[in-house]
Amino acid sequence: MKKSANTRATILQQAFELIYQKGYQPTSIDEIIATTKVTKGAFYYHFKNKNEMGFALIKEIIQPKTIDISISFLSSSVNPSDALYKMIESLLLNNSTLTIEYGCPLGNLIQEMSPINNDFKKILEEVKNFWFKAITTFIKNGQDNNTIANHINAEEVAEFIISSYWGVRNLGKLDTTNKTYTNYLKQLKFYLKSIENN
């Protein structure tokens, strides 16, 4: 990796860690610069402003470490309900980027930035829609293969899976153990079994 690209990657990674723990608005450019030990000129060489860095952070750090990894579980070679369960289980219990106390970085940004910044709202919606379409397509393929019941609405199920995941990520912040997650996963498994074509 070239030095310039390496500097950019370092800025994004350090900014991610700060923003994940503190929130987007409380994290200043000066704090990011101090943490990464780059010059102000180096920061502005890569990003015109904080928001441009924030957009890059969503697309280059958060999406690959959460959504892209989760979509890799959606393989047609396994039972669809099991794959959907494993996708969420992995995000909650096995993703080394995410912690129970800080929740989901994408969900956090949706809550913090969508109501006040339309540019953030647009890019966050793009990432959410990417995940939504992948899950919807996977469910529809399951219906075509007669492994998922045809009477269910694939879009509604995808929306439910995503919204319940973000909900439990928020509730988990109140928990010092994984109990909130494990209780949720138990009920999610029952639900996903109920949409199988028996």
Contact 188, 121 (CB under 8 A): no
Which residues constitute the domain of residue 115? Answer: 51-194
The 10 Å Cβ neighbour count of residue 198 is 6
The CATH number assigned to the domain holding 171 equals: 1.10.357.10
Cα(8)–Cα(115) distance, integer angstroms:
28
User: Could you tell me if residue 187 is inside a domain?
Assistant: yes
Amino acid letter, residue 191: Y
Number of domains in the chain: 1
Q: 58 lies in a domain? A: yes
pLDDT tens string 142-165: 999 999 999 999 999 999 999 999
Q: Does the pLDDT of residue 70 top 70, yes or no?
A: yes
Q: Looking at the predicted structure, is the pLDDT value of residue 3 above 90?
A: no
Strands of 63-162, DSSP E = none
- On whether residue 11 sits in a domain, the answer given is no
Read off the pLDDT of residues 39-49 as tens digits, 9 standing for 90 and up: 899 999 999 99
Pair 54, 25: CB distance under 8 Å: no
> What six digits make up the tokens of 191?
């639900």
